[in-house]
Amino acid sequence: MRLIVAADATAAASIAAAEIGRACRAAVAARGRALIAVSGGTTPWLMLRDLRSLDLPWTSIHVAQVDERCAPRGDAQRNLTQLEEILVHDGPLQASQLLAMPVEAQDRVAAASGYQSALEALFDHPVRFDLVQLGLGTDGHTASLVPDDPVLAVVDRDVAITLPYQGLPRMTLTYPPLARARERLWLVTGESKSSRLAELLRGTGTTPAIAVAREHSTVIADVASAPSSAKGGRGPG
């Protein structure tokens, strides 16, 4: 697991955008198209604003969601609301290439299965993302793989529905597609994440993030969240 420490959240977002851009260029060169999955959050929105300014083969890039809150379309809590604004309305991505999780469906379990099937129809079977961008919660969750949720045990589906978390159920990628991804990119900022990031880098603990595959993984952190031994440079690879 490679660690890159940036001066602050803005710098971390910029580095993360460059990493995603590199992965997209490599995927398009190797396979003719790129499939990435992104998470939501304040720093990821900065990352995506930097990403949209890069000179990339946008007509060959597809963006899926790592997770999404089960809320109405346009709701401020939806990750899709920001994704559409940043990448489509104000950016270079075609609307058809933003692959939104169908969280508004009445039958959410069927909708989760349908999202997996749609990805498989467009891409690999099983789906293999070129890169998944992950965050890290103060409780050790990543994606919407939250502590003590039955979704943590799901290994026969790529997409599943969680119990309500912070007021809403979520649709989320499960561990298997995160493990199959060619690369995992963690973007972690803020002092409140420092203890969880230390656990992630050590690979110790029982939080959901620890169970994500570690190979071909890069962590981009700001100084506030990074372990003291890594501040000012690169940490363990």
Taking Cα atoms as reference points, which of 96, 116, 114 lies closest to residue 105? 114
Q: How far apart are CA 161 and CA 114, in angstroms?
A: 12
Task: Record the pTM.
Answer: 0.94
**Domain range for 102:** 2-230
Classify residue 237: in a domain, yes or no: no
CA atoms lying within 13 Å on the CB side of residue 143: 31
Q: How far apart are CA 64 and CA 62, in angstroms?
A: 7
Taking Cα atoms as reference points, which of 216, 19, 237, 37 lies closest to residue 144? 37
Classify residue 235: in a domain, yes or no: no
CATH number for the domain including 7?
3.40.50.1360
Classify residue 16: in a domain, yes or no: yes
Classify residue 56: in a domain, yes or no: yes
Which amino acid would we find at residue 74? G
* Count of structural domains within the chain: 1
Q: Model confidence over 101-157: pLDDT tens digits?
A: 999 999 999 999 999 999 999 998 999 999 999 999 999 999 999 999 999 999 999
Q: How far apart are CA 120 and CA 222, in angstroms?
A: 35
Which amino acid would we find at residue 206? T
DSSP 168: B
Contact 154, 160 (CB under 8 A): yes
133-142, 159-168, 178-187, 228-237: the lowest-pLDDT one = 228-237
pLDDT band at 231 (very low <50, low <70, confident <90, very high): low
